Amino acid sequence: MTEELEEYIAAHISPEPAVLQRLDHDTHLQLLYPTMCSGHIQGRLLKMLVRMVNPQRVLELGTYSGYSALCLAEGLLSGKAVVHTIEVDDELEDFITSHLSQAPWGHRVHLHIGDAAAVLPTIEGDFDMAFIDANKRDYMAYYDLVMPRVRTGGFIVVDNTLWYERVVDQQRYHDAQTQGIRDFNDRVANDPRVEVAMIPLRDGLTIIYKK
Ligand SMILES: C[S@@+](CC[C@H](N)C(=O)[O-])C[C@H]1O[C@@H](n2cnc3c(N)ncnc32)[C@H](O)[C@@H]1O
């Protein structure tokens, strides 16, 4: 997407709340790899998807600075609904918790520090919606981990599924991350348990419906 189009979209969607503007700003100032942060456009989409699905329980793999977790939580309609988010990098914990506490709805986010494969089995209950956005190499494993925990009729949203368009350039890209995403996309497309849609936003967002 061109910068001009991105600016146009940003000017014609709901504004980014001040607390998220500050989080995005602090992410760019204080953390490595700030482009991993969902940001205004994708963040408003995540919130809108939560509004549409009206989940009680949302799961996120890959918290990073907490931006997407806060957008997911912001969309929750039910007073008791929560977001469980898992982040493997314990050095991010203080940054995440301090920014969660600045948002009026931050208490709805339950942060778990540790590897998703180890932490998810310790969280009880199923989920109405999941957002997979952790290590691209492990998307197949995350799918196997998350699928049994999402209820029938629930949704799994997966980020970066076009991986900067590298998925279609077989000549140049053979790295583990690109191959991990390709394998994941092929697997989901052939999984009779689900229906799949893909949005070419940023570097691709897949939306999976569990039949
Ligand atoms: C792309 S960032 C997440 C961005 C965030 N969801 C957002 O949209 O603002 C990916 C994060 O996943 C974390 N991660 C990688 N492997 C993980 C694992 N096995 N379990 C939990 N988190 C993991 C990384 O440390 C990193 O912070």
Residue of minimum CA distance from atom 9 in ligand 1: 37
pLDDT digits (tens, 9 = 90+) for 59-114: 999 999 999 999 999 999 999 999 999 999 999 999 999 999 999 999 999 999 99
Q: In ligand 1, which atom is closest to the CA atom of 38?
A: 8
Rounded percentage of the chain residues whose pLDDT exceeds 90: 97
Check residue 164 and give its pLDDT.
Answer: 86
Q: What is the CA angle 70-93-42, rounded to 5?
A: 30
177 lines ligand 1 (CB under 6 A): no
Q: In ligand 1, which atom is closest to the CA atom of 116?
A: 20
- Sorted by where each starts, the structural domains of the chain and their CATH numbers stand as 3-210 (3.40.50.150)
Q: In ligand 1, which atom is closest to the CA atom of 36?
A: 1
Per the structure block, which two tokens stand in for 166? 């590298």
The residue-averaged pLDDT of 37-45 equals 97
Instruction: Report the separation in Å between the CA atom of 68 and the middle of ligand 1, taken as the mean of its atom positions.
Output: 11
Half-sphere exposure of residue 14, counting CA atoms within 13 Å on the CB side? 13
Integer Cα distance of 125 and 130 in angstroms: 13
pLDDT digits (tens, 9 = 90+) for 152-189: 999 999 999 999 899 999 999 999 999 999 999 999 99
Contacts for 97 with CB less than 8 Å, ≥ 6 apart? 111
Per the structure block, which two tokens stand in for 165? 């368009």
Contacts for 51 with CB less than 8 Å, ≥ 6 apart? 75, 77
Instruction: Report the separation in Å between the CA atom of 185 and the middle of ligand 1, taken as the mean of its atom positions.
Output: 19
Residue of minimum CA distance from atom 19 in ligand 1: 115
